[in-house]
Amino acid sequence: MNLRLFLYGLGIWVGATLASRFAGQRLLHPGHGVGTVILFVASFAGTAWIVRRLCRRVQLPREEWLGGAVSALLPTLLLDPFSSAFFPLVFPNMAPEVAGVFGGWMLICCAGGLLGASAGRRSRT
């Protein structure tokens, strides 16, 4: 595990969780499928870009980017299951019906980060 990337990921998680707690109701709306798809696509691409940029920033060798992505995404993977399980308590400003959408949003972000770190990698075979 790369501690610097983990700490970057933790900082991003704290900032994003606070932003969602105070303004998340502007992003997630029950029954708004088109908005959800747009949010998912933008978040997938954005997380892919951020993870690639972070791996470059810490000067991680290219062959270690996938592990670096796991380090950066680990706070989301470990902490957001609790955010989802206790959704009304953590995000009182959002409708409880969007808890599943929130969980999907976190999964799509993690998928984007993993793809961002692994896209363009060359096989050593």
Q: Is residue 42 in a domain?
A: yes
- The number of residues making up the chain comes to 125
Q: Is residue 100 in a domain?
A: yes
Q: Is residue 123 in a domain?
A: no
Q: Is residue 125 in a domain?
A: no
What pLDDT digit, counting tens, does each position of 97-113 carry? 999 999 999 999 999 99
The answer to whether 68 and 58 are in contact (CB under 8 A) is yes
The one-letter amino acid at 9: G
Domain hosting 19: range is 3-118
What pLDDT digit, counting tens, does each position of 113-122 carry? 999 999 865 5
Please give the pLDDT value at position 21. Answer: 94
Above 80 in pLDDT, residue 9? yes
Note the pTM of the prediction, 2 decimals.
Answer: 0.89
